[in-house]
Amino acid sequence: MKSALSPSTVARLSLRRSWRAASLCLPLFFPQQSAVHAADATDPFAKYLDGKAPQILREITPVPEDITVRRVLFRIRDKNEAYAVIATPKTPGKHPGILILHGSGGNAEEEKAMAWAQRGYIAVAPDMPGLYSPLTRGELPMSKGYADGRYTMQPDTTKSVIFDGMLAAMKALDLLRAQPNVDTENIGVCGLSWGGTMATMVCGLAGDKVKAGFAIYGCGFFDKGNWLGGKPAPNAKSGSIAQNMTPEERERWLQDLDPGRRAPNMKAAFFHAAAANDFFGWPEAAQATFDAIPGEKNHVYSPNSNHKILVPGGTGFEGFKPEPGAKQLSGSRASWLAMEVPYFEYYLKGLGKPFPKVTAQKTADVHLVRFSVLAPIPLIKAEVYWAKAFPAGVENDPELLRKAELEREWIAAPATKIGESYETQLPPEAAVWFALVSDERPVTVSSDLVRLP
């Protein structure tokens, strides 16, 4: 005799019987009177309990045999603590050190620390308050929700989570310098996004304790960047967005916490990788930071890029070849940009060649742009990128200004070598330009950002 129930009803009853059977086996956790019915559309578990294996987001990398790894908690101040990974080569003798600073929403970069240790560096990668999530340790400000309090300046600067983030980075530098067998004369700092901002800050605060810094989207002068975009949000939490700060709070934040104001104290050789359409570190802010650095410095602007460095030697790892020998972490797991490696090899180990240097030159015709290149390795590309001026009135509207910065088109123009220089004739509508060159490693660098009168 055929059942009078529909197939879907039979299936649903079968599932319910299965859940009841399971509940009898686990009375402590699933009492029979409140069994979960995953087939019910109203049950919050129904759409998730599909029986499929979950997506693996990240596989925990085992520690390579040629290095050692320690995982520690260190004191920042008062009751506030931070986690850090310390990776050390097993080879005897002194090793240069490198501090690795994660970006917003990230955490201690364990894989990158291990990769640098495999290259022969002692590496420290800390968590930084206000930037990593979740923030679970200690009392205020670390116990706040992720990113809350970055722009809190009441009653003083120390109540901003960014203060403790910067303090954690500096204490991690001290931790690195205290490691056995570290060569304190050859210490580097590298960071991405907010970690790049922290790298700039560390180099400014640390003075001659750091020999070389490499910041990716990590400029200062926030008041020349994204702080100009957007409008105050009446319902936002106190300290969550810069637009809600009072003029006095903004001035104090910039004085105490802005890396651009600390850049004049920098003693390290410094490289800044900037995206020309970055949502936060706008080119004007990046150039102002670069101008404030008194010593050896270099940089690159990646055209038509937002929080990416889409040039040879950048985030794409074009032409990357793993080194022979022991199996090593490689690509984006080992560094953010491919050209971080030859940079620190040169400054901290004395190996290889320096990066090219590009210098913009003045001409009688402002639209005839000229630049020179000091390149120890043959170039594979030399070109100019230019952009039009923003439409009239954009600078007076924060929302329109932000949109214009993000959507600005940088147009490539080939550069012709004439004698010891390169030249390009720009059209009359060009308002700003920079030169971009790449060598065979590949490494890519830029001239300064040049505004036409």
**Domain boundaries along the sequence of the chain:** 1-54, 67-352, 360-451
- The predicted pLDDT at position 79 comes to 77
- The predicted pLDDT at position 139 comes to 46
Which amino acid does the sequence have at 302?
A: S
Least confident of 29-38, 239-248, 416-425: 29-38
Looking at every residue in the chain, the average pLDDT score rounds to: 87
Average confidence (pLDDT) over 212-217:
97
By the 8 A CB rule, do 450 and 360 touch? yes
CATH of region 360-451: 2.60.40
Confidence of residue 416 (pLDDT cuts 50, 70, 90): very high
Chain centroid to Cα 107, Å, comes to 11
CA distance 339 to 312: 9
State the first-to-last Cα distance of the chain, in angstroms, to the nearest integer: 92
Q: What is the pLDDT of residues 86-113, one digit of tens each?
A: 999 999 999 999 999 999 888 899 999 9
Least confident of 133-147, 197-211, 254-268: 133-147
Residue 326 has pLDDT above 80, yes or no: no
Least confident of 10-24, 175-189, 364-378: 10-24
Confidence of residue 146 (pLDDT cuts 50, 70, 90): low
Instruction: Select from 165, 138, 156 the least CA-distant residue to 78.
Output: 138
pTM, rounded to two decimals:
0.84
CA distance 143 to 132: 12
Tell me which of 149 and 250 has the higher pLDDT.
250
- The predicted pLDDT at position 254 comes to 96
- The predicted pLDDT at position 45 comes to 84
List Cα–Cα distances, 340 to 44, 136, 191, 320, 416, in angstroms: 47, 32, 10, 12, 29
CATH of region 67-352: 3.40.50.1820
